[in-house]
A and B are shown apart, each in its own frame.
Chain A
Amino acid sequence: MGSEDIEQLLENARFKHLSEATLVSYRDKQLDKIGLALADAHLKLCLICDRKLTFLKGEAEARESYELTEEDHAANEQFVRGLKKKKDFRPDLQKEIERFNPYILGLQNAWVHRYSPEAVRGSKKGNVKWRYKSKDGVLKAWLVLETDHSLTVHFSASDLKWEGIRIRFRLGPFRKVVTLEREGDLTVAAKVKIPRRSLAKKMDDVSIEVL
């Protein structure tokens, strides 16, 4: 951005859509004078943001006027009772997610650092194209180019406490959320199949996050 001219930046800025957070601040009158002027300038131009704001105002009005009924409260209680019965009711999961996070970060960094597109293009189909193993060997991941030219990313971990953790995977425009599920007595695993048409040109444009 260093050499980009300020004129160009200002010219483009008025056409940039407002984020939901900015629109909420605008709705709640929490923007300062300058923020308000910038948001107003865009809202005068943009039908989409103007309508988004209308929806958000509708939400605020609905919440303001809503009266919680006995039925609502009972249904909410029932929902929570239902969660308790579910196998995946795990208030402790957050702690496990925090422990799992550095592993996934390590995997993502390794992918970006090491992965080369040629490894896929030049190899036979149906083979493992890349393997990753965390330093302590707990998390493993590998890529397989299938015979139909789709790519499958496999995640496998030897810590059963990670069962139920959800991973959001993105490669270029392709996105998918998967959940680590028990696979035998020793591992939890998940896989993401990326159809051929969704394969990114830049294979290092990847993000792997824990939800």
Chain B
Amino acid sequence: MEAGSKKNSICTDKVDRELVTLYRKGDERAFVSLLDLHIALIKYWARVVLQKAYWANPEDLVQEGRIGLWDTAKVFDVSRKGNFDGWARRSCIGRMFDSAEVSLVKRALRKRLKKVAAAQDELMKQLGRMPTLVELAEATNLSVEQVDAALNALAAFTLPIDDADGSLANEDPYQFQLIGDALNQLTEDQAEVIIRYHFYGHELKEIAKALGKSNENIRQIHKRAKQKLRDIIYGKGNRRDGIRGH
């Protein structure tokens, strides 16, 4: 890729894969192009890391990011589904976070991050809404500023911190996919009722009003939708009592 006035537009996964393949065949220019395409990503995350580890050398962090991209280019399986960008992001942030200057932050923050993450998850369930910074500060005995900083660190560094001690286990991409796929097999009304009731906490009465249907009608739709979801997710014949039918 030529340098100069070219805008670093969001590169496509296809281009990434082609460049990785060329590089693996020994074409070094392909990796330079890959770096050119991802240097904005690397510099952005280096800036994010610098907010927490302001003493680190920015150029060193960018260099760590380049190594992260190189790691990804070496091992990324181009034949399988999977986004190169996502792998590259994780690898670049991981390298920066594990560098000698920055890893100090990881050790110092780990306990606080775990505390804030656990309190956030608990309050989210208790309140049924997004907790405020003040509520989180009260729950963790930290100042609002400390909570704010911890949330930023959690959001930026979740993956490396996860790798270190598995503290944020409340994430399940497969479940999201499973439920999304199952809801897609329901009728539009059934999916709407399930999402409003279970994911937005609306009452059945409110849903009936919003959809212009009777309460009884919505109750029936809800009941049928749950049965259908049960059949889709657990297999037909799996009853509530766990006895498998025929």
Q: Which residues from chain A sit less than 8 Å from chain B, CB to CB?
A: 1-7, 9-11, 13-22, 24, 32, 34-35, 37-39, 41-42, 44-48, 50-52, 54-55, 58-60, 62-64, 66-70, 72-77, 79-80, 83-84, 91, 93-94, 97, 173, 175, 211
Contacts and interface: CB of A to CB of B under 8 A. Distances in A.
B15 interface: no
Contacts of B242: 2-3
Contact of B171 (A9, A14, A18, A60): A18
B156 A55 contact: yes
Interface in B86-102: 86, 89-90
Given A10-B179, A24-B83, A68-B3, A91 B26 contact: yes
B198 A94 contact: no
Contact of A76 (B35, B151, B152, B158): B35
Q: Which DSSP category, helix, strand, loop or mixed, fits chain B's interface?
A: helix
B75 A55 contact: no
Given A22-B173, A47-B136, A80-B35, 13 more contacts: A4-B234, A9-B233, A11-B198, A18-B171, A34-B184, A38-B179, A41-B195, A66-B8, A68-B6, A73-B1, A76-B66, A91-B26, A211-B75
B176 A97 contact: no
B134 interface: no
B132 to A, nearest CB: 9
Given A15-B170, A35-B180, A97-B75, A72 B230 contact: no
Most chain B CB inside 10 Å of its own CB: which residue of A18, A44, A60: A44
Contacts of A1: 233-234
Contacts of A2: 234-235, 238, 242, 244
22 contacts: A1-B234, A2-B244, A6-B226, A15-B124, A16-B171, A17-B168, A19-B173, A20-B89, A32-B184, A35-B180, A38-B195, A41-B200, A52-B156, A59-B41, A64-B10, A67-B6, A68-B39, A73-B2, A79-B66, A80-B31, A91-B25, A211-B71
A76 B5 contact: no
A45 B135 CA distance: 14
Contact of A72 (B3, B26, B41, B120): B3
Given A19-B173, A46-B130, A84-B28, A175 B163 contact: yes
Contacts of B70: 83
B176 A63 contact: no
Q: Is the interface of A mostly helix, strand, loop or mixed?
A: helix
B117 to A, nearest CB: 7
Given A2-B234, A62-B44, A83-B70, A44 B176 contact: no
A46 B24 contact: no
A20 B43 contact: no
A102 to B, nearest CB: 15
B80 interface: no
Contact of A10 (B63, B89, B124, B198): B198
A17 B170 contact: yes
A75 B32 CA distance: 9
B173 A21 contact: yes
A4 B85 CA distance: 36
Listed residue (A10, A21, A38, A54) with the most chain B CB atoms within 10 angstroms of its CB: A10
